[in-house]
Chains A and B, each alone.
Chain A
């Protein structure tokens, strides 16, 4: 991303039920606060039952299609490693992949019919993909609940993408219910700080 522009294509990938809808909602609020056009394409329905879920977020001066073309994503935020692997071809050259180091086994693996690939992150790195690894679950527990992994990862993204913390915080407050704000703010902060450290 260039310094003077927030033009960004972000693909959020994960497993149905991991909270991608809230993550994209926060990114939408951020776009609105910084005064950019934005389109989101979400997944509702069947895939939310533990399937592979992809959400597209496009932020630009003017956005036309809500769907990102493969090879054109600036960021991929992956909630799960196998999903990072699956969707990596969407990333553009020099793009950044934020990967939560969590494994959720798909049914063919649980049944022993297929193997969960080993060394996903090393393989991606070997293919010249910039990876930012995050132990999202650990940070989420620290924030007060495993459900906040999504917000931890948004925190990481905002730090990497130079979005001021106050903007991210305001967007968060617009997107979650009052009673969950405190816990999620903590999650956002932990994600943000962890990325600042590793930058």
Chain B
């Protein structure tokens, strides 16, 4: 049967068919739907871990214990999981272990554009890259075979355009595998210097062997067409090259190790060799190092996404239509009723330096709230405020961290422990909307539910922060601007580490809304104060302001903004 699946769903299906028993992941666009979709197969145990490192370690444990295992994450997630990755590359596996990593060229939803292929190179782990959903499923199955044949973890790399595209997939049955026995073997499973030296030799051996065997796995494909130009490509770029040109194509399914000899032979069949790849010159540099004459980044550049139109323009100078008019941009915004808005607004009014973090609240860096002053990576806000504090203790009276519930559990806790341990006096605000919002609402340890929606222990943030040694942990209503301001001011004065938890559920998850608010025209002075809160449901009209009833969820934050009492509770059936 054929199904129209996202490549992410096809990866989950591939894992199911390959007999995978354990999947542990942390959400991150564009990888999230793999694990969400995998959770629907009752033959696999699937979980959200608190971060990518724990997720990969769980998968490693399951592999050592003898069942096929998988861990999925976005590109920056692999940075967090890099520590176990580099060493499990030495240990190898018992049952197959596959790591799926999704890169985001063009940064649709990411803070950087890093190229994960370099992880394969530097950890010496094979990497496969599919070009559509069918291949995504097939490659996952092959990845498990390679993992077990060569005693190595295998990375499968996706990019946004693959992960979030749908195409037909032929479904097959699941293979059921016996659990392998975990045999005590200190030289393989305990990586201390003496053993690791031995394993490093094995890593090199297995890589050489795989390099020689690549063609056995039918992952690379040659399509001979016009022989003037031959193009080496992989993944989504292969689809673009196939459509944009009539050139002969060498499509890599295995992007590490690269079958240089096969590409050399291909290059002899064509007049000119081109490498077309998004992001870094990963394939190109390898070929050049082996003396293969080719062109690549001198034509195509390293930034952003490619497309059929882009390739035609670069190769043939063909222009496709471009936007003609200048049209107001539509940046992503915090939703109407988002509990982050009022908190960030309060922080802005207090003129604080706000070390932000990664989540929906990062949108508070945009106008008109413009409250967030810095944002690096998940969990960084807490360490950064501690750094501000240590750079000059005066800073801590006007600096605050904001971090979401999921991000705090991901990698904020250690930052808090550090600030307390080292006698800091920073103030940390946890924006607890009881969900992992930005990535599309995944449960996490603070929600008290598993990925299947089953009840589980609910991590209590207040108790946790107190146990870490925060001298004060207070809870505020995120919608109440004055309360937030008052409590923040008090806590900034405290000469020790304090935590403020602002609570309100994500507005997209509210089952019931209060009726939309309305504006009493006779009272409105058209001062525009309410617009400074940046709610998409408030619209500036020529005469005054209007509330968009389709968008308003009745959070009443704008009511607090009006000095003239012009914004009031509306009627449900107006």
**Real binding pair:** yes
**A104 in contact (CB, < 8 A):** yes
Q: Name B's interface SS.
A: loop
Map CB proximity to A onto B149-164 as digits: 1 under 8 Å, 0 otherwise.
0000000000001001
B84 vs chain A, min Cβ distance (A): 26
B328 CB contact (under 8 Å) in A15, A40, A49, A109: A109
Tell me whether A47 and B539 are in contact (CB under 8 A): no
Q: Which of A29, A32, A47, A105 contacts B108 (CB 8 A)?
A: A47
Contact with B367, one of A44, A52, A107 (Cβ below 8 angstroms): A107
- State whether the Cβ of B91 lies closer than 8 Å to any Cβ in chain A: no
Alpha-carbon distance between A141 and B335 when the two chains are bound, in angstroms: 22
Q: Are A50 and B536 in contact (CB under 8 A)?
A: yes
Complex interface: stretch among B137-145, B235-243, B281-289 = B235-243
* Smallest CB gap from A147: residue in B: B550
**Residue ID in chain A nearest B532 by CB atoms:** A111
Q: A89-B321, A108-B329 are in contact. Are A67 and B539 (CB under 8 A)?
A: no
| Separation of A49 and B242 alpha carbons in the complex (Å) | 34
A63-93 vs B, Cβ < 8 Å mask (1 yes, 0 no): 1111101111000000000110110011000
Q: Which of B2, B308, B328 has the most CB of A within 10 A?
A: B328
Judge if B274 is at the interface, Cβ distance under 8 Å. no
Contact A111 B165 (CB under 8 A): no
What total of chain B residues lie within 8 Å of the partner, measured CB to CB?
A: 58
B8's nearest neighbour on chain A, judged by CB, is A44
A125: CB under 8 A from chain B? no
Chain B residues whose CB sits within 8 angstroms of the CB of A109 once the complex forms: 328, 540
For the complex, what is the distance from the CA of A44 to the CA of B33, rounded to whole Å? 9
Residues on B with C-beta less than 8 A from A66 are 161, 165-167, 236, 239
Q: Is the C-beta of A191 less than 8 angstroms from some C-beta in chain B? A: no
B327 near A82: Cβ-Cβ < 8 Å: yes
Q: Which residues of A contact B393 (CB under 8 A)?
A: none
Q: Is B562 an interface residue (CB 8 A)?
A: no
* In the complex, chain A residues whose CB is within 8 Å of the CB of B32: 44
Tell whether B187 is near chain A: CB-to-CB under 8 Å.
no
Q: Provide the bound-state CA to CA distance between A112 and B325, in Å.
A: 19
For the complex formed, measure the closest distance between the CB of B63 and the CB atoms of chain A, giving whole angstroms: 29
B331 interface contact, C-beta 8 A: yes
Return the chain A residue nearest B4 by Cβ. Answer: A28
- Which parts of A141-194 form the interface with B (CB within 8 Å)? 146
Assess whether A137 is interfacial by the CB under 8 Å rule: yes
The bracket for how many chain A residues form the interface is 35 or more
Q: Is the CB of B438 within 8 A of A49?
A: yes
Residues of chain A contacted by B548 (CB below 8 angstroms): 104-105
Total cross-chain contacts (CB, 8 A): 171
Contact of A44 among B29, B333, B540 (CB under 8 A): B29
- Given A46-B29, A67-B307, A110 contacting B328 (CB threshold 8 A): no
Cα distance A127–B311 in the bound complex, in angstroms: 28
Contact A112 B167 (CB under 8 A): no
Chain B residues with Cβ below 8 Å from A39 are 132, 165-167
The answer to whether A65 touches B168, judged by C-beta atoms less than 8 angstroms apart, is no
A9-33 at interface with B (beta carbon < 8 Å):
15-17, 24, 28-29, 31-32
Contact of A49 among B6, B329, B334 (CB under 8 A): B334
B258 contacts the other chain (CB 8 A): no
B residues less than 8 Å from A47 (CB atoms): 108-109, 332
CA distance A193 to B53 in the complex (A): 54
Contact B332 A16 (CB under 8 A): yes
Residue of A nearest to B534 (CB): A107
Judge whether B445 is part of the interface by a CB distance below 8 angstroms: no
State the Cβ distance, A75 to closest chain B Cβ, in Å: 16
Within the complex, what minimum Cβ distance (angstroms) separates B305 from chain A? 9
Report yes or no: B335 in contact with A50, Cβ–Cβ below 8 A. Answer: yes
Interface string of A116-145 (1 = CB under 8 A from B): 110000000000000000000100000000
Question: What is the CA–CA distance of A42 and B30 in the complex, to the nearest angstrom?
Answer: 11
Q: How far is the CB of A54 from chain B (nearest CB, A)?
A: 11
Known contacts A44-B32, A112-B528: A65-B243 contact under CB 8 Å:
yes
Judge whether A137 and B331 touch: CB under 8 Å: no
Q: How far is the CB of B233 from chain A (nearest CB, A)?
A: 12
A46 and B239 contact, CB distance less than 8 A: no
Q: Closest 3 interchain pairs by CB? A: A45-B109, A45-B29, A51-B332
Residues of chain B touching chain A, judged by Cβ–Cβ distance below 8 Å, are 2, 4, 6, 29-30, 32-33, 108-109, 132, 161, 164-168, 236, 239-240, 242-243, 307-309, 320-325, 327-335, 360, 363, 366-368, 438-440, 528, 531, 534-536, 538-540, 548, 550-551
Question: Can you show 7 pairs from A to B with CB atoms below 8 A apart?
Answer: A40-B165, A40-B166, A46-B109, A82-B330, A104-B551, A110-B538, A111-B367
